[in-house]
Each structure stands twice: as structure tokens, then as C-alpha cells.
Amino acid sequence: MSPGYHLMELPTKVLIGDGVIEKLGEFVTDKGPRKTVISSGSQVTSKVRATVECALGRKPVWVEVTAADTQNVDKVTRAARGAGRIVGVGGGKSVDVGKLAAFQLGIPFYSVPTSASHDGISSPFASLRGLDRPYSVKAKPPVGILADIEVISSAPKRLLASGCGDLVSKLTAVKDWQLAHEVTGEYYGGYSASLALMSADVVLDGSKTMGRFGKGSVRDLVEALISTGVAAGIAGSSRPCSGSEHLFSHYLDVLEPGVGLHGEKCGIGTIMMARLHGLNWKRVRNALTNVGAPVRASTIGIGDSQVVQSLVKASTIRPDRYTILSERKLDYRSASALAKATGVI
């Protein structure tokens, strides 16, 4: 049965708009004598370093993040001992690594995304390789999120399309949550579920416009990704944002680490899980096609056998999380038929 209470943790503030990266110094309100540590990839650092340092008014400690793994978390954590705050500047790996390092040290974390490839920019969860589990772990949400639309709009279109894949996945994540509530009595939060579904509809209803990735569409994408992270904070778990489609993606990570982007794999998974749930999976597939996200596994270098095995084994990633895969218990034949019927393989 569900508990009678849960803790909600949410970002304190969000600053979004063109050129707002120049306001980072004003945005970081807990400034003090202790140093600021920035976790960032090398390419992002070269693009925004001068602007960030000028905005902060004092030179921070830059730590290059090369992968979303425990080694990089340790590197940032060592550099941030005695620091007042960590700022994650960049894509998903820089934000997740900085978020977990700040959580371990008990210091504030600020999220400054330079792309919009998944909802980790605002959620209280971090997804890293090298943990004792192949899925996201609970940390804390960023104290603040600063999203410069001018910067994010210049990100590669593949990253933006991946963000759309992560958004549509909320459709099946919520259905899985509803199913778990009906079958196991697990807590279900209608408001956080509605917020997640509304964010998915940004792509499902407006994919043709979204796929052009003009500044207006990119702002909608970023705001929707922030909202899904908030939905997870309200729910007190990743339930409104992560279901069977994420378990499928995580199992692919086990089989083929580093192949394909998180949002791409979740989007592909959503197509198949939507069919299992009896939803309009063709609508999902069309929306992903319109935004330039992959709908066939081979497009991102994933083989047919990996897709089928992941469908069969995905529920073992989190046996405690009841989803449509727990209900249907696919074998290799039925998994192959599902993947073929939806055009994934």
C-alpha cells in the first residue's frame, strides 16, 4: 500500500530567456567567500567560459566532465571540497555529475543547461554509469535553473530532438503509474501526472512546429522539460517521468553502453509501450519523426536482438516498479513481434 506522506523537493527559482547567461552572477544568490566550482564539458567551456567568468565577477574552478559516471562525480567532488556551490554548465552529463557531487557534499547546485536533451536539467534525479544500479538515483533538485534560449537554440538538433523523445515518454510513464496504482495500490498523484502529460503534449500536439526548433519552440521544449522535473519533485519519485520505456532504455544501456542518446532510446521505447497499453502509438511515432528523432533502433546503432532482449529483460532492472512489462511478461517471440509491428526493427 502507498505511504500516507512523501517529501516534495523543487527548484527555488528559474530564469529563462535570451542572453540570461550574462545574469548568472546575479542569479547565484548564495555568493560568499567560498569558491564556485563549475562542472562542464570541454566544448561548452570553450564557448561560454569568458561569459560565465565575467558574469560571476570572480574566477571559478572549472572541472572538465568527460562522462556521466562515478569517476567524474568523484573528480568534481574533490575539486568542490570547501566550495560554496556547484554550477553544472552544459548538457546532461555535466548537470547530472554536478548535481550528484553537490548532493554528496551538501552544498547548493545550480543547473545551467546549454542543450535540452532530457529532463535532468530540473529533476531531483541523476543518471550515471558506475552506480550500483543502471537507473537514475535520487539526489536533490537544483536550487536554481538558468536557461539561456539563445545558447540552447544553437545546440545540435539531435540533442533537441532527444529532449522531445524524453518528453513523449511521459505518456507511457503515467500509464504505467496508473496501472501500478490499480494493481498494487501504489500511491498515484493525479496533479503531477497531469503536469507530466501536459509536457508530453507539447511535442505530441505541436511536433511539426517543434521540429523546426526556432527559439519559440526551443523555449517551449525547455519549459516542458523543466516542468517534468518539477512533476517528479511533486510526486516524490520519478514515476510521472519514468516507466517501462525508461526500463527498456536502461537495459539497452547495459547491453550497449554509450550507444544512442537517453531521450532517443526512451522515445523508441515509448512507441512500443504505447502499443502495449493500447494507446495511439502511431501518433507517438509520427511526432518523433516530425522532430527528427529516431523511430528505428538501427538508426542509432542498436541491433534487432538488443531491442528484443531489452523488451524481455527490462522489467528485471527494477523488479519493484510495476509497469506494463510486469503485466504482459513478453517472451522473445512476442517481443520481436511487438518491435516489428511498430517498425522499431
Q: What is the pLDDT of residues 256-289, one digit of tens each?
A: 988 999 999 999 999 999 999 999 999 999 999 9
Mean pLDDT of the chain: 92
pLDDT band (50, 70, 90) for residue 91: confident
Domains and CATH numbers, the chain: 13-153 (3.40.50.1970), 157-341 (1.20.1090.10)
Round to whole Å and give the CA distance between 217 and 222: 9
Angle between helix 304-313 and helix 332-341 axes, rounded to 10 deg: 120
Tens digit of pLDDT for each residue in 3-18?
577 888 888 899 999 9
**Any residues with CB less than 8 A from the CB of 271 and at least 6 apart, and which?**
281, 284, 285, 288, 295, 342, 343, 344
Cα 2 off chain centre by: 25
pTM: 0.93
